[in-house]
Every structure is written in C-alpha cells, then in structure tokens.
C-alpha cells in the first residue's frame, strides 16, 4: 500500500509540473494582453469552405449507396409492416409504416436537400466570378440553393397535400383521387425550366450531367406514380418503388452536385485542361492565314522593289548619254545603241 501511494504521489507531482510548464508558457494571470489560444487557432490555420468539397470518389460512392439503401430499407419496412407488427406484440403496422419508415425517409430527404443547397451556394460563390459568362448563367445556382432549402422543409411538413386539398375544395375538379395535378403542374413548369438551365451549366462535366439526368428520371417516375400510374409487373412492390424514387432522386442529385462542385474547385485552381472554343480556333486560323499571306507577299514585294531600283536599257542609255554629254555621238554609236535596245 505504501509503495502504491508513493507511485501516485510521483505521478501527481509529474502532472503538477507539466501543468506548471503549460501555465508558464501561456501566462494569463498577470498579463492582460497574453494570448488565450495557441498559434494553431489563428485564422490562417482555419480550413477554407472549399476544403469541405469531397475530392475522392469514395466519398461520393458512399453517399450514393447510403441514400439508396436508406430509401430501399424504408420502403421494405413499410411493405412488411403488417408481418413485423404481428410478430411484435403491442406494435401497430401503421406505426411502422407511417412513423418509422416515413420518418426515416423525411429525415434523409431533408438532409440530402440541405446538403445540395449548400453545394449550390458554394458553386454560386465561385461561378459568379467567371469572366466569360456574359449571359449570367451562374444565377441558376442561387435558384437551386433556395429551392433545396424549400424542398427540405417540404419533405417534413408535406405542404403539397394541403395545396391539393385546398385546390380541389375550391374548384371541385380533380383528375386524380388526391388532386396531385394541382401541385405537380406548376412544379413541373418551374422545375423543368431550372433543370434546362442547370444542364446547360453542367454540360462541361459529363459525369455530373449524367447523374442529374438520372435524378430527373427518378423524379419523373415518382410524379407518374403520384398521378396514379404504377408498373403492373411489380405487383405489390410498385407502390414501394414509386415511394423510394423521390429519396433516390435526392441522393443522385446530391452526388451530381458534389461532382460538379469538385470540378469547379479544380477548375478555379487551374487543374483542368480545356480545349479551345470554335470561335477561338477560327480566329487563330484567320490570324495564321493572314501571317502566311504576308510572308508570301513579302518576297514578291522585295523583288519588285529591286526590279524598280534596277535601271532598264533605256535608263542605261540615258546614263550613257549623260556621261557622254561632253562629246557628240556619231552615227555609228547611235546605230549601235539602237541595236542593243532592240536586242534587249
């Protein structure tokens, strides 16, 4: 016991000495201007917002698999709610289908859409500084950011059902049992226009464009299911499929935005090579042809200048005549000059 107490006292003394060294290194009691944080807490050591954009494919694959498995698991739980409730005493099938499965889907959808909105906002903060975007196509990212926030809220409160009921009660018309057309039609118009603008923006990244097209296909099939269509070949699983597609679309769209955000960050850093645009290639070809024509025309111009500087036979005759202006030419000399002129 004495030996154990001695060891504890030694350890306590070491701890006190270490704490004393730390206090001595960072005095705070007597000096009011002494720093309270270490050097690593300074601003230059903080991570930038672009550091949170995933760079590795593994993160995107994990995100995709997690979202798809959550959607499939929630719908499987709702589909087998009655057998599970029968096996577990005191548990109703409605609680499994509506509360547990529906809560999982709502939570996962809200998180996915909020992350997509954050990525859209980040992309907007970078793309708005692009010097060749004269049409202002970068504004689509701001619309997607706000749309992601609103869709995240709606995934929890489901305001579309309230809108459908109010529209059916006000007009007395409904093409579907629950009046889904009253919220699907305006959503399709606005969402389709934003989707076209988005595809024009992400066309530089083929992988991101492919993922967004797949997400749009999921949304289209889910909308058809809301209107009453379902694949008959799946039987009882058709409702589970149409119910899982919205969350699957959110996940695929999120991965597509992650891929494009990574592309934009690398593009800003100058790590992505771009081929010259057709207009730039045409301008370069015109400049090259102009330079070639100038180079070909230069020797002929130089030769013409030399030819103009070289005296002709008549000028030589005049020079000879000027040189011999002191003496009078004889008839034989004039005859000889004419013969030379004809020969030339």
309 φψ region: left (φ > 0), alpha (ψ -120 to 50), beta (else)? alpha
Condensed to tens digits (0 to 9), the pLDDT of residues 168-219 reads 899 888 888 888 889 999 999 999 999 999 999 999 999 999 999 999 999 9
**H helix or E strand, kind and range, residue 52:** none
Q: Which of 282, 3, 245 is nearest to 109 (CA)?
A: 245
Token duo for residue 266: 């690398």
Compute the half-sphere exposure of residue 124: CA atoms within 13 Å on the CB side of its CA.
Answer: 16
Q: Give me the average pLDDT of each 10-residue run along the chain (344 residues).
A: 52 49 48 78 83 91 96 89 82 80 93 96 93 88 96 93 90 85 92 95 94 96 84 74 91 97 93 70 55 54 48 42 52 71 57
Fill in the DSSP letter of residue 271: -
Tokens 């030996």 belong to residue: 3
Condensed to tens digits (0 to 9), the pLDDT of residues 151-177 reads 999 999 999 889 988 998 998 888 888
The full length of the chain comes to 344
Q: CA 179: distance to chain centroid?
A: 36
Distance between CA atoms of residues 183 and 168, nearest Å: 11
- DSSP symbols for 80-120: THHHHHHHSTT--HHIIIIIIIHHHHHHHHHHHHHHHHHHH
Residue 323 is predicted with a pLDDT of 46
Look up the pTM and report it. Answer: 0.69
């Amino acid at each position: 016991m004495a030996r154990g107490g001695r060891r504890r006292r030694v350890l306590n003394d070491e701890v006190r000495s270490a704490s004393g060294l730390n206090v001595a290194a960072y005095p705070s009691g007597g000096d009011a201007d002494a720093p309270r944080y270490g050097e690593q807490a300074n601003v230059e050591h903080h991570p930038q917002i672009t550091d949170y954009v995933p760079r590795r494919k593994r993160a995107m694959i994990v995100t995709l698999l997690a979202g798809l498995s959550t959607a499939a698991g929630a719908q499987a739980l709702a589909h087998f709610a009655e057998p599970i409730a029968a096996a577990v005493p005191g548990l109703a099938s409605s609680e499994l289908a509506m509360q547990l499965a529906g809560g999982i889907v709502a939570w996962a959808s809200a998180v996915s859409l909020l992350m997509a909105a954050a990525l859209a906002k980040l992309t907007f903060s970078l793309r708005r500084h692009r010097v060749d975007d004269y049409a202002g196509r970068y504004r689509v990212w701001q619309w997607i950011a706000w749309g992601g926030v609103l869709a995240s809220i709606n995934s929890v409160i489901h305001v579309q059902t309230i809108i459908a009921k109010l529209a059916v009660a006000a007009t007395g018309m409904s093409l579907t049992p629950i009046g889904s057309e009253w919220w699907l039609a305006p959503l399709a118009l606005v969402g389709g226009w934003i989707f076209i603008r988005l595809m024009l923006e992400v066309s530089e990244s083929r992988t991101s464009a492919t993922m967004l097209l797949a997400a749009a296909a999921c949304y289209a099939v889910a909308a058809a299911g809301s209107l009453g269509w379902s694949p008959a070949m799946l039987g009882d699983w058709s409702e589970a499929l149409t119910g899982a597609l919205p969350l699957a679309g959110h996940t695929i769209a999120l991965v597509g935005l992650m891929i494009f955000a990574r592309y934009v960050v690398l593009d800003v850093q100058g790590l992505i090579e771009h081929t010259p645009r057709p207009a730039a290639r045409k301008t370069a070809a015109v400049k090259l042809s102009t330079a070639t024509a100038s180079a070909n025309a230069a020797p002929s111009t130089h030769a013409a200048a030399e030819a103009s500087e070289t005296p002709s036979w008549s000028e030589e005759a005049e020079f000879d005549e000027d040189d011999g202006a002191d003496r009078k030419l004889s008839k034989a000399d004039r005859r000889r000059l004419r013969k030379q002129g004809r020969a030339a």
